[in-house]
Amino acid sequence: MTAWRAAVVAAGAVAALLAGVRWLRVAQREHYLPGSVFRFGLRWWGRDPGNGAAALVALAGLALTWKWPPAGLATAVVVAAGPPGLGLRGRTSPLAWTRRVGTLAAVSFALVVVALVLAVLTGVGPVVAAGVALAVPLLIDLSLVITGPFERAVARTHVDKARRRLARVGPTVVAITGSYGKTSTKGYLAHLVAGSRTVVASPASFNNRAGLARAVNENLAEGTQVFVAEMGTYGPGEIADLCSWLPPDIAVITAIGPVHLERFGSEDRIVAAKAEILEKAQTVVLNIDDRRLEVLADGAEEKGKKVRRVATLMPGDSADLCRGGVCVRDDLDGLTLFIDGTEVARLAAGPRAGNVASAVAVALELGIPVAEIVSRVGSLPAVPHRLESVSAEGGFLVLDDTYNANPAGARAALHALKRGGNESSRRVVVTPGMVELGPRQAEENSRFGRAVAEVADDLVVVGRTNRRALLAGARSPGEGAGLLGYEGRTSKGGPLHCVVVEHRPEAVAWVRDHLGAGDVVLYENDLPDHYP
């Protein structure tokens, strides 16, 4: 029996090592947030009946190990193989071996070793080895908690350096937040002012504490007049913390939506977290299309801040309806820009009206003359993967909206799909659905599925994360005037055809096989492969 016990401990250790590689990658992809690894563990082991059965075998093995140690081998084998579908290395986003991952790995490894040594010494080796192997996601979460203070101290040195740099260069700081539209608005603003100011914008993925500190330290060159910072948030207090060392002169909230709802709990808490950006700014720009932002605008005015309200108008609306200083009307085939009630420019379809309005308002606050804004607003840069249109080799049109992850953006993309092509076009939506919507995730994806059915001929569902919700929505009978406001189904006819695939390459292959000249495909959102 001793040999069996030793074998189980060894197998458990090896399984834990393999699981470590697997789940460290998930920790990295999930921005090192404690708790995220365990959440993804539950997702993967419960993905489908097959994975659930594997998890049951592992748990049963663990339970039996108390009485009969060799059962632990079953647990070790299942853990070593991992939940079916979650590779060791990852296809789309492999583990990048950074200093931070190294620290995390070392602490997790130490926890495993300590647990095993203590267990062997106290005579409970096999059961603890099997348990540790199975609990690797939890151990990594624990390591994330343990390394938290150290990582914050490391970040602090970068933040201190960034603070000194900001003081020396002394740019006007524009901070932009919002559930969506941040990156586009930032890009538009940088473009509008680039002709008359030296401007530096933070890179898209650098919107948290460490990222913005790095953006300042590496990009804020001497002589920069305007620094545009995109601020993201996963929880209350984060933006207030950013503003403590990167205080904005002008603050912008583009829009509020149920993005990262999973981490916030409610949309009211999202509003409160975003509103932190207004505290230190003297001037604020708010999109009052959202009633909640209008309330914030009134509050900011009471505090003596300069408030610039922006709004969008529907097709056909007259300028009189413009309630903000800057309004942009979506004319479907283009946009019309109004400043203080006067039409100043028309631009081609593509950018979202609200984002253009916010960017123009900030440019005005920076003292850019209207003539200069008008001369540049016609050439706003397209943001990659945000409803970007590309002609495919097969002659069909590709709408790439793979960076979008919010319901409002998804609806706008479906309108664009409807506008693209002609009467005989076949229209296809390829999507894994949207994530991080908390308790509303199933409902939102189901609604999206229903909306897809209104304008598309085919829906290709990628992966399993939202498969059930998307298909349920797509197959539910249409009720009255559709979600998108079109009269009945507007596709070529016949019911929506649904296809399910595991990975995006299969979806791309399906599209190549089935689409031809004149057709349109919308790629809506993309999920890295640590999502089931």
Partner 1 sequence: MPPTPTTVSSQKIDSVTVAVVFGGPSPEHDVSILTGLQVARTLVGAGRQVFGLYWSKTGEWFRVPATLEAADFLDGVPRKAEPVRLVVGPEGGFAQAGGRLGRAKDIELDVAVNCCHGGPGEDGSLQAAFDLAGIRYSGPGVASAALGLDKLAFAGVVAEAGLPLLPRRLLSPTITDLGFPGPYIVKPRFGGSSLGIDLVEDITTAVHRLEANPHLRRGAVVEPYRPDLFDLNIAVRVWPALSLSAIEKPFKSTASAEILNYTDKYVGGEGMASAPRELPAVLGQTLATALRSAAAELARLTSVRGVARIDFLSDGEAWFVNEVNTVPGSLARYLWVDPPVTFIELLDALIDEALSSPTWRPNATGADGTVLRSAGGIAAKLG
* Other Cβ atoms closer than 10 A to 463: 22
The secondary structure of residue 368, as a DSSP letter, is -
Least Å distance, CB 178 to partner 1, is 23
Q: Among 219, 238, 245, 500, indicate the residue that binds partner 1 (CB under 8 A).
A: 219
Q: For residue 405, what are the contacts with CB-CB under 8 A and spacing of at least 6?
A: 259, 434, 435, 436, 525
Q: Are 258 and 290 in contact (CB under 8 A)?
A: no
Q: Which is nearer to partner 1, 222 or 513 (CB)?
A: 222
Q: Among 37, 78, 79, 215, indicate the residue that binds partner 1 (CB under 8 A).
A: 215
Q: Which is nearer to partner 1, 5 or 376 (CB)?
A: 376
Q: Are 218 and 385 in contact (CB under 8 A)?
A: no
Sole window of 107-115, 192-200, 233-241, 342-350 interacting with partner 1 (rule: CB under 8 A): 192-200
Q: Are 231 and 244 in contact (CB under 8 A)?
A: no
- Residue 103 within binding range of partner 1, rule CB under 8 A: no
Q: Among 46, 102, 195, 265, indicate the residue that binds partner 1 (CB under 8 A).
A: 195
Q: Among 43, 165, 182, 274, indicate the residue that binds partner 1 (CB under 8 A).
A: 165
User: 3-class DSSP state for residue 522?
Assistant: strand
- Residue 214 within binding range of partner 1, rule CB under 8 A: yes
The CA-atom distances, in angstroms, between 262 and each of 103, 409, 417, 440, 470 are 27, 18, 29, 9, 19
User: How many angstroms separate the first and last alpha carbons of the chain?
Assistant: 39
- Residue 160 within binding range of partner 1, rule CB under 8 A: no
Q: Among 42, 150, 156, 205, indicate the residue that binds partner 1 (CB under 8 A).
A: 205
- Residue 157 within binding range of partner 1, rule CB under 8 A: no
The CA-atom distances, in angstroms, between 221 and each of 11, 32, 174, 207 are 54, 30, 16, 19
* Other Cβ atoms closer than 10 A to 351: 25
* DSSP character string of 287-330: ETTSHHHHHHHHHHHHTT-EEEEEEEE-TT--GGG--SSEEEEE
Q: Which is nearer to partner 1, 113 or 382 (CB)?
A: 382
- Residue 196 within binding range of partner 1, rule CB under 8 A: yes
> What is the footprint of partner 1 within residues 19-78 (CB under 8 A)?
none
Q: Among 225, 272, 370, 389, indicate the residue that binds partner 1 (CB under 8 A).
A: 225
Least Å distance, CB 197 to partner 1, is 6
Q: Among 93, 98, 157, 342, indicate the residue that binds partner 1 (CB under 8 A).
A: 98
User: 3-class DSSP state for residue 234?
Assistant: coil
> What is the footprint of partner 1 within residues 328-367 (CB under 8 A)?
none
Least Å distance, CB 219 to partner 1, is 6
Q: Which is nearer to partner 1, 67 or 99 (CB)?
A: 99
Q: Among 35, 70, 84, 203, indicate the residue that binds partner 1 (CB under 8 A).
A: 203
Which residue shows structure tokens 């595991």? 502
The H or E element spanning position 461 is strand 458-462
CA angle 396, 398, 399 (to 5 degrees): 145
> What is the footprint of partner 1 within residues 362-381 (CB under 8 A)?
372
Q: Which is nearer to partner 1, 362 or 462 (CB)?
A: 362
- Residue 222 within binding range of partner 1, rule CB under 8 A: yes
Least Å distance, CB 206 to partner 1, is 8
Q: Which is nearer to partner 1, 110 or 221 (CB)?
A: 221
- Please report, for the chain, how many H helices and E strands are present, in that order: 19, 15
d(CA 330, CA 304): 32
Q: Which is nearer to partner 1, 205 or 266 (CB)?
A: 205
Which tokens hold the place of 157? 């040195």
Residues forming a β-bridge with 397: 391, 520
User: 3-class DSSP state for residue 204?
Assistant: coil
- Residue 220 within binding range of partner 1, rule CB under 8 A: yes
Q: Among 103, 198, 389, 490, indicate the residue that binds partner 1 (CB under 8 A).
A: 198
- Residue 217 within binding range of partner 1, rule CB under 8 A: yes
Sole window of 178-186, 212-220, 331-339, 403-411 interacting with partner 1 (rule: CB under 8 A): 212-220
Which tokens hold the place of 433? 């659905």
Q: Which is nearer to partner 1, 224 or 402 (CB)?
A: 224
Q: Which residues bind partner 1 (CB under 8 A)?
A: 96, 98, 165, 195-198, 203, 205-206, 214-215, 217-223, 225, 372
